[in-house]
Amino acid sequence: MAGMSNWSEPEQAGRIAGATLTDKPLRIRTVPCACGGEITADNANPGDEVRRHNRTMEHRIWWMRHEADWQGDE
């Protein structure tokens, strides 16, 4: 039954780390990562999804290649 849950489509599909059932709707935002991938997370609480992304093979390979060049600038 559509509209009976506060779960967003990404939550239902299990794609947003740390997402929980709340009475507040998620404000999903997708941003590019320096590694070339994208991070999709709740804009108010992106930490879990950023950590999940940082553990992906693609991001880890990118980091091994570029860690020495990275100055932490955002």
pTM, whole model, 2 decimals?
A: 0.61
Instruction: Give the pLDDT of residue 27.
Output: 84
Average pLDDT over residues 24-39: 88
Q: Which residues of 3-35 are buried (b: 16+ CB within 10 A; e: fewer)?
A: eeeeebebbeeeebbebeeeeeebebeeeeeeb
- The Cα–Cα gap between 23 and 45 comes to 15
53 pLDDT higher than 90: yes
Token readout for 16 is 């947003």
Question: How many other CB atoms are there within 10 angstroms of residue 52's CB atom?
Answer: 16
23 pLDDT higher than 50: yes
